[in-house]
Amino acid sequence: MRARDLIVGESYRHKDHPNYCWAKVVEILQPRQKENPHNRVVVKCNYGQSKVSQFGLVKYFRPSDLVKPGNEESK
């Protein structure tokens, strides 16, 4: 996906393992902004076992790593 297509608060799947966890978008960080020292856009996500889980890891992904649920087969 493109960064402008992502919606903060929505849950997406990771393209490499689309049946494992959910990535809920917390923030989209532009290059060299706040916590993002890289030269590319990074998406800050809560990564957990269910869509509404209270526990999860904070992970950073490229926007192209995330896919909409139901589109797992189209890589």
pLDDT in tens, 33-70: 878 888 999 999 999 988 877 778 999 999 999 999 88
CA-CA distance, 47 to 57, in Å (whole number)?
Answer: 5
- 73 in any annotated domain: no
- 71 in any annotated domain: no
Range of the domain at 49: 3-65
pLDDT for res 71? 59
- 72 in any annotated domain: no
CA-CA distance, 26 to 28, in Å (whole number)?
Answer: 7
- 51 in any annotated domain: yes
Structurally, how many domains does the chain consist of?
Answer: 1
Contacts of 54 (CB under 8 A, 6+ apart): none
- 53 in any annotated domain: yes
**pTM for this prediction:** 0.83
- 7 in any annotated domain: yes
